[in-house]
Amino acid sequence: MALSISHRPPPPTKPLDPSLRGYLATNADIVTRVTKPVHMADIGALSAQSDRPILFENIVEKPGFRLCDILVKNRRSQARALGTLPENYLRTLAYRLRQPPRGFKIVKSGPVKEVIKLHNEADWTELPIPYHKDKDDAPYVTAMNII
């Protein structure tokens, strides 16, 4: 008797969130929200200590900005981000990586367009870019930081 293995993963356990705000709301039960004042120099160390997604909402040097880090640090949170169970994570990820890109959805308005800066107004140094390790010479952005 031949064994049949499906390469298609089981259907998602929940729909994927189309936005970061949706992801944070849907996963509020695992997101650590830091509302106390935090210095930029401390964000990397605090993030490294957390096993869960972390959202800094009160950055001393960057008032008005928030910063997310480590949204998908472990297999459990990676599976949740893909809308599947941990035991189906690898199969789901492999399947989705083989799919063609979906492209971007261009919108005329929305939260993403609350602040628009063009040309000389755009300044990377205004963003809350953290130090990740105590020996870092300068702050830098990684794939895990979302401002």
pLDDT in tens, 77-119: 889 888 899 999 999 999 888 888 877 778 888 887 788 888 9
Residue 124 has which token pair?
């990377």
Domain boundaries, the chain: 10-97+128-147
Compute the average pLDDT of residues 128-132. 85
Name residue 33's beta-bridge partners. Answer: 55
Residue 18 pLDDT greater than 80, yes or no: no
Compute the average pLDDT of residues 58-84. 91
Residue 81: CB atoms within 10 Å: 18
Q: Which of 41, 39, 60 is nearest to 131 (CA)?
A: 41
Q: Which phi and psi (to 5°) does residue 95 adopt?
A: -65, -45
> Tokens 């005329």 appear where?
108
Query: In what helix (H) or strand (E) does residue 68 lie, and over which residues does it extend?
Result: strand 67-69
Candidate from 13-22, 56-65, 118-127 with smallest mean pLDDT: 13-22
pTM of this structure: 0.78
